Amino acid sequence: MTAAGTKKRPRKRKALPKPPRKVRVAVYAPPINDPEAMATLGNKLTAAAAANTGEIKNPEYIPALTTAMTTLTGDIVAAEGGTDADQTALLNATIKVHEIIVQHAGWVQAQVNSMAPADAIKYIILAGFQVAKNPQRKNLTAPELSNLAPTVVHFDLPKVDGAVMWFSEVSTDGGKTYARSSDTELRKGDITGLPSGQTVSVRLRPYVRGTGYQPWTMLSITVT
């Protein structure tokens, strides 16, 4: 109370500014059954690294990508009218190039994480990648996965009436075994410490008040 007997109005607190949205690398790799397109992307990335050595310093995965590209180029030629063994070798070479491209994208992401947005965008483009578009919020009907940062997978969850908790489990051996991961009361969460460049299986399910655990939703993603 003030001396005049009136209540003192509380001061309005200024809202803190929101941190800038992190700029992310988009990996729009072609399908595994298109080795020529995969080779085109691989050549683009190695050429970008060679042309911008002043900015892209000591890219960890470019030497391995260059070696894998040499193998893929040779296997593309050998597979034309070749044997089943040649086709298998081509598939394996294409998968290898794709894995290294994802690993290189994770390395690029790690370089830009501490940069200002404008610098990060410039760096990603110089490296030969595209910048991921900021997704618009949408009403989900099923769980979705996305790469949040190197070795981190983010999940978004749909609204389920009566759900009090969501549970997630992750597998790094093709779904043979699963380990318990993040449990959350929210409709989103992160799974950390995953192997970069490897495809992992993730399953999620809610616990619904009155009916219990619901069936698992099975998903997979290649980790950046």
What are the structural domain ranges in the chain? 25-131, 144-222
pTM for the predicted model, two decimal places: 0.56
C-alpha torsion angle, residues 194, 135, 189, 162 (rounded to 10): -140
DSSP the chain: --TTSPPPPPPPPPPPPPPPPPP-EE--PPPTT-HHHHHHHHHHHHHHHHHTTTTS-S-TTHHHHHHHHHHHHHHHHHHTT--HHHHHHHHHHHHHHHHHHHHHHHHHHHHHTTS-HHHHHHHHHHTT-EEPPPPPP---SS-EEEEEETTEEEEE----TTEEEEEEEEESSTTSS-EEEEEESSSEEEE-SPPTT-EEEEEEEEEETTTEEPPPEEEEEE--
Whole-number pLDDT of residue 14: 55
Tell me if 194 sits within 8 A of 215, measured CB to CB: no
- Closest among 138, 176, 180 to 159, alpha carbons compared: 138
Which residues are registered as beta bridge partners of 25? 131
Residue 4 has pLDDT above 60, yes or no: no
Return the higher-pLDDT residue of 42 and 23: 42
Tell me if 194 sits within 8 A of 183, measured CB to CB: no
pLDDT in tens, 106-140: 999 999 998 999 899 999 999 999 888 765 556 88
Whole-number pLDDT of residue 86: 92
pLDDT band at 8 (very low <50, low <70, confident <90, very high): low
Return the higher-pLDDT residue of 47 and 11: 47
Per-residue pLDDT, averaged over 38-52, amounts to 94
Return the higher-pLDDT residue of 130 and 14: 130
Whole-number pLDDT of residue 18: 47
Return the higher-pLDDT residue of 44 and 4: 44
Tracing tokens 């389920």 back to the chain, one arrives at 160
Residue 2 has pLDDT above 90, yes or no: no
Tokens of 220: 């997979």
The per-residue pLDDT of the chain, averaged, comes to 87
Q: Which amino acid is at 61?
A: Y
Q: What CA–CA distances, in Å, run from 170 to 87, 149, 174, 192, 219?
A: 32, 17, 10, 10, 10
Q: What percent of the chain has a predicted confidence (pLDDT) above 90? A: 65
Residue 31 has pLDDT above 70, yes or no: yes
Which residues are registered as beta bridge partners of 183? 167
Residue 19 has pLDDT above 60, yes or no: no
Whole-number pLDDT of residue 64: 96
Topology of domain 144-222 in CATH is: Immunoglobulin-like (2.60.40)
Three-class DSSP category at 155: strand
pLDDT in tens, 57-78: 999 999 999 999 999 999 999 9
User: What gap in Å lies between CA 184 and CA 214, rounded to an integer?
Assistant: 15
Angle subtended by helix axes 35-51 and 84-112, to nearest 10: 40
Residue 11 has pLDDT above 70, yes or no: no
pLDDT in tens, 168-192: 999 999 889 999 998 999 898 999 9
